[in-house]
Amino acid sequence: MNTILFWLILSTPAWTLTDGSEKDQDFTWHLRKMPRVVSERTLHLASPSFAADAKMELHSVCGIECQKELPAPSLSELEASLSYETVFENGTRTLTTVKVQDLVLESAHNSTTKGAPTRSKRQVFGTDSRFSILDKRFVTNFPFSTAVKLSTGCSGILVSPKHVLTAAHCVHDGRDYIRGSRKLRVGLLKMRNKGGRKRRGGSKRSRREGPRDDHKENSGERAQGGRRRQGRGQGQRAPGGRPSFQWTRVKNTHLPRGWTRGARGAAALDYDYALLELKRAHKKTHMELGISPSIRKMPGGMIHFSGFDNDREDQLVYRFCSVSDESAELFYQYCDAELGSTGSGVYLRLKEAADKKTWTRKVIAVYSGHQWADVHGAQKDYNVAVRITPLKYAQICFWIHGNDANCTYG
């Protein structure tokens, strides 16, 4: 990675190189009153079997044109989709039904392009534009320090001292919880000094099996899966140390019913997000939630996200790109990304409304990954991110705080 180029990217306002035509545009976080997602009742469900295979792609989901042609859901349909399951560390599960109050319906976003470009390879194509973050000055500091790794092979982002936002399909395939999600762990990247203590426990399990199941998840001495696999990126060290993960157990997981209602049909891509509550609080700076703006209100139309791509083992990988198209619920883009980056928090930086000078980064979407969609009867593939709409903001904020008192404005 060219350090000078990367430093220029970080130093440029809004993290994007723009021309003078955008200097007068209003790139601001505008506070608005949020709808309320209120808990109605909680029911106990049978414990899941945790038998599903991990899926990183969804097939036959609604594409761009389909998304824009869908009729607006009724209030009862929204409440059914925003009702949520909670699965606990001991394997028990509940269903909480909700009521939506103070909802102001907004018109659907219009397309910004006449159709997304087509290409045969969606994950990495042509010149790989991803940056491996190897320098300790970057990887251990905000915003890169907010990226985390899940033991199921996905990524996520810290959104509170005890909560991680990720993609729903990282723990649930739309019908059942995936293998490994019952003993889910979250890994926070840290740098170890050269010549530090040797890694304990030479387990021969593969990296995909996650960290071993013991009570020392915060020791920082156990790399995921015990031994390292030889592969791309192996042996690369950041100045002053090498990366390792501090693993923490997940206390419970919240999933919107719009995703887990998959038994009725295909899982709804609009609801491919989940919130994980950690058993122990971390000490890192988290990233605040934000309402997803339309493309025209993003500096350069650019988004950013960092995750742990499988082809660069244990390296944090950052990328940024333009959003190609949008619907009311989804962003369609072509950021270079490999499996493992799914679940990453998509963010951007805008000015605060209070002083118009302070720039703040916020999470505005969850990267769902490489998806196949049915567009006018033909299968096409996209890189898709699930937008944080006002309703989703209200729901996720409610999950974080346990009430809506802190979720009035966003």
pLDDT at site 387: 95
pLDDT at site 241: 52
User: 332 with 364: CB under 8 angstroms?
Assistant: no
In the chain, the domains with their CATH numbers are 22-194+204-401 (2.40.10.10)
Q: How confident is the model at residue 12 (pLDDT cuts 50, 70, 90)?
A: very low
Q: How confident is the model at residue 58 (pLDDT cuts 50, 70, 90)?
A: low
Answer with the residue of higher pLDDT: 345 or 223: 345
Q: How confident is the model at residue 365 (pLDDT cuts 50, 70, 90)?
A: very high
Q: Report the number of secondary-structure helices (H) and strands (E) in the chain.
A: 6, 19
pLDDT, mean of residues 133-155: 87
Instruction: Give the tens place of pLDDT for each residue, 156-215.
Output: 999 999 999 999 999 998 889 998 898 999 999 886 655 444 444 444 433 433 444 333
pLDDT at site 129: 73
pLDDT, mean of residues 29-53: 89
pLDDT at site 364: 95
Residues in contact with 245: Cβ distance below 8 Å, sequence separation at least 6, in sequence order: 149, 187, 188, 189, 190, 211, 220, 223, 224, 314
- 69-83, 108-122, 139-153, 236-250, range with greatest mean pLDDT: 139-153
pTM comes to 0.80
Instruction: Give the tens place of pLDDT for each residue, 266-281.
Output: 568 899 999 999 999 9
Answer with the residue of higher pLDDT: 371 or 11: 371
pLDDT at site 60: 53
Instruction: Give the tens place of pLDDT for each residue, 376-386.
Output: 677 777 788 99
pLDDT at site 271: 93
Angle ∠(360,150,204) on CA atoms, nearest 5: 145
Instruction: Give the tens place of pLDDT for each residue, 222-264.
Output: 333 333 333 333 333 444 456 688 999 999 999 999 998 754 4
Spatial separation of the C-alpha atoms in residues 200 and 2, rounded to whole Å:
34
To the nearest whole percent, how much of the chain has pLDDT over 70? 69
Lowest-pLDDT choice from 10-14, 126-130, 173-177, 179-183: 10-14
Answer with the residue of higher pLDDT: 75 or 311: 75
**Mean pLDDT value across the chain:** 76
Spatial separation of the C-alpha atoms in residues 357 and 8, rounded to whole Å:
20
Please provide residue 325's backbone torsions phi and psi, each rounded to the nearest 5 degrees.
-160, 170
Beta strands in 239-357 (DSSP E): 241-256, 274-278, 288-289, 302-307, 316-326, 330-333, 345-352
User: 306 with 144: CB under 8 angstroms?
Assistant: yes
Spatial separation of the C-alpha atoms in residues 245 and 361, rounded to whole Å:
24
pLDDT, mean of residues 95-119: 62
DSSP character at residue 37? E
pLDDT at site 233: 34
Q: How confident is the model at residue 124 (pLDDT cuts 50, 70, 90)?
A: low
pLDDT at site 363: 96
pLDDT at site 65: 64
pLDDT at 402 over 80: yes
Answer with the residue of higher pLDDT: 359 or 216: 359
Answer with the residue of higher pLDDT: 132 or 316: 316
Dihedral sign, Cα of residue 213, residue 217, residue 219, residue 220: positive
Residue that has been written with the tokens 């399951």 in this structure: 85
Q: How confident is the model at residue 147 (pLDDT cuts 50, 70, 90)?
A: very high
pLDDT at 121 over 80: no
Residues in contact with 331: Cβ distance below 8 Å, sequence separation at least 6, in sequence order: 292, 303, 323, 325, 346, 365, 384, 385, 387
